[in-house]
Chains A and B, each alone.
Chain A
Amino acid sequence: MLTRRARLLTGLKWFLGVWMTVVVIAAFFYAPAARNLGQMSRIIYFHIPAAWVTVLAFLVCTVYSAKYLRSRRAEDDAAASFSAELGLLFCVIATVSGSIFAKAIWGSYWNWDPRETSIFILLLIYGAYFALRSSVDDPARRGSLAAVYGILAFVTVPLLVFVAPRIPAVQSLHPDGPILVADGGLDMDARMMTVFMSSLAGFTGLFVWVFTLRMRAWHLVQRLAHRQED
């Protein structure tokens, strides 16, 4: 029974590898370039999925934090921190790739565009989360303090949706027109759309894969520690 599950997981892992390879190739050779952005538009296949995973990881971290406060299982705390680690990694990827794109298209690396502001705050929250974790020694207390901070930070995020677009300096430079229409729908070439959605799925799969990998490693370390105690 267990070997069957292991075989399924291995199969999924290889499938994910092939999927991501195809997505990367398709992003450069299959999807057409957008009309007004040219070759630069290919960033959407990597930048937006990374930003999506950043937010998803924050959500997962909050869910596991709430679970930890209810159950007090060390496993939930570990899951929350692994999710936050991945979120930080993807947050850096999204910020750096977006910043390079901004320099190439808008002429400056950083200009407090509302979405830049939001991702900057996410970066600060992730940073503060790990600063807090590293300054508490007792594991149980570290877990509950980090969980409380994670939930508290998550609660303020909806307010940013209201606050960030009102930063006075600039209007959003993010291209709404060719990609996201005002009413929230998507207006893309069918081939672009296919690659974009596949890339979103691939990045989400990547997050899930690395996350389960970290959890399995954590379980192994726990088991080893128990064995050493015996």
Chain B
Amino acid sequence: MTSSSNCAHEVLAVLAKDLRSEYRTRYALSAVLLFAVTALAVVSFSVSPYSLEADAQSAFLWIVLFFSAMSGLSRSFVREEEARTAMALRLAAAPEAVYLGKLLFNITLQGAVAIVVVPLFLVLMDIAPAHPGLLVWAAVLGTLALASSSTIIAAVVSRANAKGALFAVLAFPVTLPGLSSAIRATTAALQGAVGRVGTAGDLRALAAYSVLMIATSLLLFDFVWND
């Protein structure tokens, strides 16, 4: 009982530390948000809002969300290595607590990006989603999937040499199952009744993917972190 509450305490401490340092520098948030807004703007003023089909629109939304995750989510671990604070963190907290803290931080960051990007996307592309509730579910579960796969990859990348270039290369094949489910669920949400068949399966696949990623990461994180 005490050990589990102690662990939860450590997780929250790591999360609070990351949130505080992010609040002070606002490096990751501004980089990710500006990237996402730039990408949205580029497409929306080169494509007329009515010319894209629902599947192209949802693919476009998730490309923006995926690459904005790629530009910012590795910061949580890379910063520890660059500032040489990783050793202190290793001494201060259990590996599982570090992983869960960073995961919560990445979920928060990616969630903040999604909260800005999804409405902006709907406004710029002039879309009235057929199933707003479904769109919210797809965005929430997709964000969870992106954050859960990229946290462990970020930990791996932070221990390698070519950090920036490697992150997207490593994350893409691992993230693809989650990403393609998210794209299909979003297409169904934008399209309406036609695309609704099997969407519950897509959302379930997304949730299963996140759970699988988090469980595997918890088992493997120690090997990445303490080596």
Judge: A and B partners, yes or no.
Answer: yes
Complex formed: what's the CA distance from A39 to B134 in Å? Answer: 49
Partner of B156, one of A69, A137, A149: A149
- The stretch of B13-21, B27-35, B173-181 in contact with A is B173-181
B216 interface residue per 8 A CB criterion: yes
A156 interface residue per 8 A CB criterion: yes
Instruction: Evaluate contact between B216 and A152: CB separation under 8 angstroms.
Output: yes
Using A152-B152, A163-B180, A166-B184 as known contacts, say yes or no to A132 and B223 having CB atoms under 8 A apart. Answer: no
Which residues of chain B from 148 to 163 have any CB-CB distance to chain A below 8 Å in the complex? 152-153, 156, 159-162
Q: Could you list some 26 contacts between A and B, CB below 8 A?
A: A69-B220, A128-B170, A131-B166, A131-B169, A132-B160, A135-B162, A137-B161, A141-B159, A141-B227, A145-B156, A145-B227, A152-B152, A152-B153, A152-B174, A152-B217, A159-B205, A159-B212, A160-B176, A160-B177, A162-B205, A163-B177, A163-B180, A166-B198, A166-B201, A166-B202, A168-B55
Interface string of B206-218 (1 = CB under 8 A from A): 0011001100110
B172 interface residue per 8 A CB criterion: yes
What are the residues of chain A within 8 A of B224 when measuring CB–CB? 144-145, 148
Complex formed: what's the CA distance from A35 to B213 in Å? Answer: 45
Complex formed: what's the CA distance from A69 to B223 in Å? Answer: 7
A140 interface residue per 8 A CB criterion: yes
Overall SS of chain A's interface: helix
Partner of B176, one of A121, A135, A145: A121
Instruction: Evaluate contact between B173 and A163: CB separation under 8 angstroms.
Output: no
Instruction: Evaluate contact between A135 and B181: CB separation under 8 angstroms.
Output: no
Q: What's the minimum C-beta distance from B155 to chain A, rounded to whole angstroms?
A: 9
Interface string of A154-180 (1 = CB under 8 A from B): 011001101100111000000000000
What are the residues of chain A within 8 A of B227 when measuring CB–CB? 140-141, 144-145
Query: Number of A residues whose C-beta is below 8 Å from B?
Result: 30
Partner of A145, one of B160, B173, B202, B213: B160
What are the residues of chain B within 8 A of A152 when measuring CB–CB? 152-153, 174, 213, 216-217, 220
Closest 3 CB pairs of A and B: A124-B173, A159-B177, A135-B162
A151 interface residue per 8 A CB criterion: yes
Is the interface on chain B under 10, 10 to 19, 20 to 34, or 35 or more residues? 20 to 34
Interface string of B118-162 (1 = CB under 8 A from A): 000000000000000000000000000000000011001001111
Instruction: Evaluate contact between A148 and B166: CB separation under 8 angstroms.
Output: no
Q: What's the minimum C-beta distance from A148 to chain B, rounded to whole angstroms?
A: 5
A125 interface residue per 8 A CB criterion: yes
Partner of A136, one of B161, B170, B184: B161
A206 interface residue per 8 A CB criterion: no
Instruction: Evaluate contact between A145 and B159: CB separation under 8 angstroms.
Output: yes
Instruction: Evaluate contact between B181 and A163: CB separation under 8 angstroms.
Output: yes
A153 interface residue per 8 A CB criterion: yes
Q: What's the minimum C-beta distance from A50 to chain B, rounded to whole angstroms?
A: 20
Partner of B205, one of A149, A163, A168: A163
Which residues of chain B from 51 to 99 have any CB-CB distance to chain A below 8 Å in the complex? 55
Complex formed: what's the CA distance from A69 to B166 in Å? Answer: 22
Closest chain B residue, CB of each to CB of A146: B156
